[in-house]
Structures are given as structure tokens and as C-alpha cells.
Amino acid sequence: MDLKDQLKNLFPEHEESAEPIKEKSDIWLQDEPIICKYEKRKGKPITILEGYNGANQDFKKLAKEIKKMLSVGGSFKDEKIIIQGDYRTQIMQLLKDKGFKVKRVGG
């Protein structure tokens, strides 16, 4: 007996939803890809996102969401998001899930 069967026994009146609820993004999506690149500054790895041509508030919201999801530090300056550490794959997957086009640059 797996977990689904156990849950059905506990809650027989519950109907399982077939499609997941997709939240609508309040961030403006652009046609051009966001550039995701990796650098080392003072020997420490960082991930840089650039190329977003929307409003600064949207980009700051996106930066905050990325930092919160990865539990890392970072900043937003000069129309770039700088994240501490090499998190290109996780950030690119998050942006693709939100509907952005992402281009990986460097190694």
C-alpha cells in the first residue's frame, strides 16, 4: 500500500486535481534571452544575470526571489543581478519555469 492509497483511505471524499495550479508571473517577460554567466572575483565564484530590459523594480523582485530560493547572498546593481556562488543550472531552470529565455555564457 503506497502513500496515495493511504491518503485515499483517510480522505475518501477528496478529489485529486489532474493539472497543477500555475501561478501568473507579475514580472514582465522579454523576447531576448537573459545572459547567465560565471565569473571569479577575488578567487570566489559568482553568477551574473544581465540583459533584462524591463523595469528595475521587476528585476529587483526577480533578484530577491532567486536569492531567497537558493538561500544565498547577492546584489542588484548596474542592471545586473550578482549571486554569490556558481548556481547557473538552478537559476536557469527557475527562469525557464517562469517563462524567460536564458542563454548560458562561459564554461
What are the pLDDT digits (tens) for 53-92?
878 888 888 899 999 999 999 998 888 999 999 999 999 9
Which residue's entry shows cell 508571473?
Answer: 25
Q: Average pLDDT, stretch 22-49?
A: 82
Q: Does residue 24 carry a pLDDT above 60?
A: no
Which residue's entry shows cell 565569473?
Answer: 39
Its pTM stands at: 0.70
Predicted confidence at residue 8, as pLDDT, reads 84
Q: Can you read off the three cell numbers belonging to residue 50?
A: 544581465
Q: How far apart are the C-alpha atoms of 85 and 46, rounded to whole Å?
A: 5
Cα 81 to chain centroid distance, Å, stands at 12
